[in-house]
Chains A and B, each alone.
Chain A
Amino acid sequence: MKPEDQESTSVATLDPGPDKVIGPGHDYGTVTDEIGGVVFRPFLKTPPQMFIGFACAFLLVNLLMIAVTWLFVRGVGVWGIAIPVAWGFAIVNFVWWIGIGHAGTLISAILLLLKQDWRTSINRFSEAMTLFAVACAGMFPILHLGRPWLAYWLLPYPNTMWLWPQPRSPLIWDVFAVSTYATVSFIFWFTGLIPDFATMRDKAGNPVAQKIFGMLAMGWRNSARHWARYQKAYLLLAGLSTPLVVSVHSVVSFDFAVAILPGWHTTIFPPYFVAGAIYSGFAMVLTLAIPVRRWYHLEDLITMRHIECMSKVMLGTGLIVAYGYAMEAFMAWYSGGQYERYAFVNRMWAGGYWWTYWILILCNIVIPQLLWSRRVRMSVPAVFVIALVVNVGMWLERFVIVVTSLTRDFVPSSWGMYYPTVWDWSTYLGTIGVFLALMFLFIRGLPAISIFEMREVVHEGEATHAHGD
């Protein structure tokens, strides 16, 4: 069939409501066409929002380019960092992005193992989101180096100095954890795409597209043998990624937990960083999914059920995070450690950044409680706003942990403040631009929903239907 008549074939888009993961009247063909249609839509028929969105994102990318050039020319001094606050936005953003990067693999892997049917139509692009978020995160550890051109010294490679990285340092753990996570996320994402590449290959109208998708599909032909091995490999990947996803943010939290700084030196960090990561991850998935399903009329594939489930996950992880905050503060008081206690006094009212702490509590704990109400969960705009709020809150959480703790540590004489500069902000916004730009390109260029898995959903749907009558 030709690309043109695909839109016509795609069924009327209406949301089947909170208990269905797919709209009615879909068969193998229609899901294929509807999802594939997004990619094969003629360029000019791309929704205008996409163009506008991409344009904005691209401007931010250029902002990043300028900021980074200036950074490399002058040195990290262009940022607001100093002694004692030697880590500023760079690390805050790094942790924030990594956190966001957790939803993808989590949805794909853990929900797969948990056999959650609502995972299917969101896993693909949350995986993509993961990739891009990790890409953004990955920039910062390099950018924030005093001598970024020597970043490769953090890799273990034989050299004429006979020197090696120092594997007791959490930063080296980071190197391994983040690079592993990036690689595995990519593999996972790409593996998931192979059968869909085949689909695209077979649907593609023009030979160029055929060739490209053909190469990417590597000759996948949907043979039962392929499927058997494929599913096994995919299951194993999921099984491996699950502990990985947990380990990565634990390792990131070690950057702080291993240090002695009051406010960093806390054993509860790993679990609550992971929870926080999932929290922010789902928030970001929602932030992206809600507009996209709207623009491409995918309400029948990304249904209210998806949105509600994700809201629930947000609520849950949000509560874990809340517990984390509470326990952190409690332990600080209970430990009786003078410095630990002061770290929290400082965080909550003594220090110059007390307000960030309370905004973060508002964003991460208070506001999300609205999600208890089904009416809120059912209202797409409300969920969208809450998701945004949580994104902000989670960024502030990292700010409070990284910066506020550093401003006042042990010896009062060396206490100091941190004031971000325009370059701090440009770099941060710049990476948001990179993230969105990549996201837009992905949605336009690749099947943003796993087609073959949707077919499975259809299949299961029919099976249960058959059972029904």
Chain B
Amino acid sequence: MKHDKSLYWRSLDELASTDEFRAFVEDEFPNRTPDWNDPASRRRFLRLMGASIALAGASACTKQPKELIVPYVRQPEEMIPGKPLFYATAMSVAGIATGVLVESHLGRPTKIEGNPEHPASLGATDAAIQASVLTLYDPDRSQTVTRNGYISGWGTFIAALTGARDAAKPKKGAGVRILTGTVTSPTLATQIQDFLTEFPEARWHQYEPCGRHSARAGAILAFAKPMNTIYRFDRADVIVSLDSDFLSSTTPGSLRYARDYSARRRAAAETPDRTPPRLYVAENTPSVTGSMADHRFRMTAGGVAEFASSIRGDTGATSPEARAVLKDLQAHRGAGIVIAGEYQPPSVHAVVHAINQTLGNAGKTVVYTGPIEANPVDQIASLAELVKDMRDGAVETLLILGGNPVYDAPADLNFLDALKKVKLRAHLGLYSNETAAWCHFHIPEAHYLESWSDARAYDGTVGIVQPLIMPLYGGKTPHEVMNVLNDAADQSAHDTVQGYWQAQHRGTDFDDFWQITLHDGVMAGTALPEKAPPSAKMPEQLANGAGLEIVFRPDPSVGDGALSNNAWLQEMPKPQNKMTWDNAVWISPKSAEHYGVTTGDVVEIELGGRKVGGPVWIMPGQADESLTVHFGYGRTRAGKVADGIGFDAYAVRTANTLWQGTGASIARKARDYKFATTQHTQTMEERDPFRAATYAEFHKTPDFARPEEKRVPNDLTLFPQWEYKQHKWGMSIDLNSCVGCHACTIACQSENNIPVVGKEEVAKGRHMNWLRVDRYFKGPLEDPELYFQPVPCMHCENALCELVCPVAATVHSAEGLNEMVYNRCVGTRYCSNNCPYKVRRFNFFLYADWDTQSLFGVRNPDVSVRSRGVMEKCSYCVQRINSAKIEAEKQDRPVKDGDIVTACQQACPAEAIVFGDLNDPNSRVAKLKRQQRDYSLLEELNTRPRTTYLARLRNPNPDLEKG
């Protein structure tokens, strides 16, 4: 949707002060929430019958139910009912911000887009950001201040906290502790510092379960001071990733990195004279970054350390791979990047810093700035100290601002036991989670779409967080809580944040500056300046522990657990194995054989005396003797969605085995665990839906993607071809750029009101995602190549689905869209049977949630909510096409290329998806389809798809190809 900046994104003060949209979320039973995992339980007989009949009514010749119009009492200016507004704000994950634009209907945020102005986004988003809007409306969010579990009030909390502060005053604050996650917010940091200066004996602890501990420590190890590293993939010809998944959202700045990296790949593929970047990835678990690798070296996470030191240069490279990599790096001095994984030990980071300096990459492709964290401390030590003091009874008041240490603190710290010793424990959080359960006070936290705040991006750029909506459940921001401590309880978060920046601002034009900042969502010139780092000292040879290794990682979809209760993410297939609603113990085929386990076995893994049980998943490409487990599951107080699914990997994670530990054991306890995956066939079965070649092959046979025998001449038909005179919509998906991050899938879900069906239904094969991302393994089972292929509706010109629909519920539009008319569909499902791409989705039950009022808010009013018994599928975001056309018509101008951006295209960090008018020869999509790599899926069926693909190109190292 084209958003007219100059008009719309403005601050929302006046809007936020009106009450209208609360109506959307007032729910007479606050505790009634959909149980996604059992659609049956939440459906009552009569309601269902009623629904069906009402639906029949709406479509057949029956009387319509009466409907009310409820106008504003005072209509806010700029608010035009029926037109969405866009506001800039920022979402931070683990403290690090990404700028977003939020689409708001009648003051109701419905869709998140990336902020093109923001360096970390450039308009892209990842799945977590897309899904965050669902969390806003999550009925499981805590809804009131509680004291000892009973409903209490903000006032009571103020009183209690103020009391504690005054009590601590004589002791200079001794015994008062604040525990936060990673803080980049200048305002919050200052608030805390103010408090600490007034109470010097008080302490501020930080703990982020999946924070940048290694990077921080690594920098200190190398430079003796914390530094922030930024990679410039747009300048890199050779990239060596040492277990770094820099294309997935686990790495700060990944959206930007993906954008830069794929731009290089695309450029090389489109113009022969540009050199393609070459990516080496050394890792234990196939990652999306690994899937893009030109050479993927499968090794244990511990082995990566050895590999790192084997490419240091000073000591001779041991393995042929290392030799080749080193040669390649040295051949591209200053144009290479060696990047260490977020979860590799500090020593590896230190080595990498040294390598980059010796290769002259530092300052060119790898630039350094000061830390973006307000207070970079060793968080593990910080937490350990807190726990120690709590156990010693030195802590009287603990204020936990966000986070969930009871669930995610290292197991060996026994955080909970220590916590119980604290006299006054208060927890601020979106959910009344495991930690809240053990705190005297729980304060509902304001979602970032309800908050005033600020945060720094991966490069230090400050984004202002502004609310789109009044706190639905009366949530509070950390700023407001800190204000209580700072004896300014009546100061609003807005005043605090604005006040801080006013103080910072030099000059008199603050109001303009403020308005521009809010409007752009980016505070100009706040990116941290480059700093030349002192020369890094190379640590001695890195050794590796022996025995079976366990590797801990945040979950590909729900991260460290903060997002567990988000049903969209739960049902988002994990890229590597298309598993939903679960985590598992990933093991390599060989090791599985060795340990006598197989997919579906429930095993008990043991590390350092700690045990946890979970199901096994055999993952091709996984390193042998290396298990990977993911955090974010085994929640007990996450909410209706996440409670009781998966197992809790934190249970075996200790402070010194933060990311990996060796000497683990695995033992089978049970069999036949039922996973819910969206793809059962792992390989392409001698078929070629996904086509790839090396640059060499490509230059030799440029049309490798469309071999002669597959082509179907256009005139091979009895019937005359239809002409599409006006527009001719089409889409091109560049498999060379796509990294398989699934952001498109969730963007589509958010844009098109796609329901969540729950694990049972997914297991039956009834998942509803319109845009699925197929995953194929190619090559040896042990170490295959990993391919990702997004598959939306192909909008075939000879659409087989249309031919067989008995009621003309799916037909072609004059612009060549394959229309799906839900209200005409009677549900024969014949179209799906006849669709060779199987992109159609069917509402076998009433999947759309008609019960949970608070979830109505997230729905896009421009798209019908499908009911039971109708087929649905990708519409090329026809609602966006229509509104763009209408706007163009009203301005009496043709629709320009780029006016229409589909949800998936808008979200894609790699710009792999391009939509446009094929009748306009200069449109981006038309140009792409003229490329030789362009091919259509199942071309030989002569369905003439409008969605086509650009084949993947690999740039392998000749030395390694030979060997």
Contact = CB atoms under 8 A, between A and B. Distances in A.
Interface in B785-826: 789, 791, 800, 803-808, 811, 824-826
Nearest to A87: B833
Contacts of A147: 52, 55-56, 825-827, 868-870
Interface stretch (B192-200, B505-513, B682-690, B876-884): B682-690
Interface in B205-231: none
Contacts of A159: 61
A153 B808 CA distance: 10
B55 A86 contact: no
A204 B800 CA distance: 59
Interface in A293-349: 338, 342
A334 to B, nearest CB: 17
Interface in A152-181: 153-154, 159-160, 163-166, 168-172, 175
A154 B60 CA distance: 13
B687 A412 contact: yes
Nearest to B811: A166
A75 B843 CA distance: 9
Interface stretch (B122-130, B534-542, B834-842, B904-912): B834-842
Contact of A146 (B49, B775, B791, B829): B829
B687 A86 contact: no
Contact of A166 (B808, B841, B868): B808
Nearest to A413: B774
Contacts of A259: 800, 804, 830, 833-834
A75 B869 CA distance: 7
A175 B807 CA distance: 12
B323 interface: no
B680 interface: yes
Contacts of B774: 411, 413
A414 interface: yes
- Max chain A C-beta neighbours (<10 A), residue from B40, B55, B681: B681
B844 A81 contact: yes
A82 interface: yes
A146 B844 CA distance: 7
B297 to A, nearest CB: 27
A208 B775 CA distance: 73
A411 B938 contact: yes
B131 to A, nearest CB: 23
Contacts of B832: 83-84, 86
Contacts of A153: 807, 824, 826
Nearest to B871: A146
Interface in B15-64: 40, 43, 45, 48-49, 52-53, 55-56, 59-61
Interface string A407-427: 001111111110000000000
B957 interface: no
Nearest to B55: A147
Contact of B836 (A160, A260, A412): A260
Given A86-B832, A146-B826, A75 B844 contact: yes
- Max chain A C-beta neighbours (<10 A), residue from B48, B824, B829: B829
B766 interface: yes
A219 interface: no
A410 B687 CA distance: 9
A149 interface: yes
Nearest to A255: B830
Given A258-B804, A259-B834, A83 B825 contact: no
A33 B52 CA distance: 54
Contacts, number: 178
B937 interface: yes
Nearest to A171: B806
- Max chain B C-beta neighbours (<10 A), residue from A75, A169, A409, A410: A75
B657 interface: no
- Max chain A C-beta neighbours (<10 A), residue from B52, B686, B834, B868: B834
B586 interface: no
- Max chain B C-beta neighbours (<10 A), residue from A150, A170, A416: A150
A74 interface: yes
Contact of A169 (B686, B806, B869): B806
A169 B826 contact: no
A164 B824 CA distance: 11
A74 B743 CA distance: 33
B869 to A, nearest CB: 3
Given A146-B825, A150-B826, A259-B804, A86 B833 contact: yes
B836 A411 contact: yes
Given A84-B765, A150-B60, A415-B681, A76 B804 contact: no
B918 interface: no
A146 B681 contact: no
A82 B679 contact: no
B950 interface: no
Contact of B837 (A76, A144, A338, A410): A410
Nearest to B832: A86
A82 B766 contact: yes
A140 to B, nearest CB: 11
B941 interface: yes
B833 A146 contact: no
B680 A144 contact: no
Given A83-B840, A413-B776, A413-B791, A175 B52 contact: no
A230 to B, nearest CB: 38
Given A75-B844, A146-B825, A146-B829, A411 B806 contact: no
A460 B803 CA distance: 54
Contacts of A1: none
A233 to B, nearest CB: 34
B845 interface: yes
B710 to A, nearest CB: 11
A74 B761 CA distance: 14
B45 A163 contact: no
Contact of B48 (A73, A144, A342, A413): A73
B846 interface: yes
A91 to B, nearest CB: 9
Nearest to A77: B844
A288 to B, nearest CB: 32
A259 to B, nearest CB: 5
B806 A154 contact: yes
A399 to B, nearest CB: 15
Contacts of B764: 80, 82
- Max chain B C-beta neighbours (<10 A), residue from A86, A153, A338, A413: A413
A154 B684 contact: no
A87 B833 CA distance: 8
A12 interface: no
B776 A260 contact: no
- Max chain A C-beta neighbours (<10 A), residue from B53, B681, B800, B804: B804
Contacts of B53: 149
A284 interface: no
A74 B834 contact: no
B916 to A, nearest CB: 25
B643 to A, nearest CB: 24
Contacts of A414: 679, 837-838
Interface in B934-963: 937-938, 941
Contacts of B251: none
Nearest to A256: B833
B828 interface: yes
Contacts of B845: 74-75, 77
B803 A169 contact: yes
Contacts of B828: 144-146, 171
Contacts of B43: 74
A370 interface: no
A413 B682 CA distance: 7
Nearest to A170: B804
Nearest to B868: A75
13 contacts: A74-B40, A75-B869, A80-B764, A144-B828, A147-B55, A150-B60, A159-B61, A165-B808, A261-B834, A338-B687, A410-B836, A410-B838, A412-B683
Given A412-B681, A415-B681, 5 more contacts: A147-B827, A153-B824, A166-B807, A169-B806, A259-B833
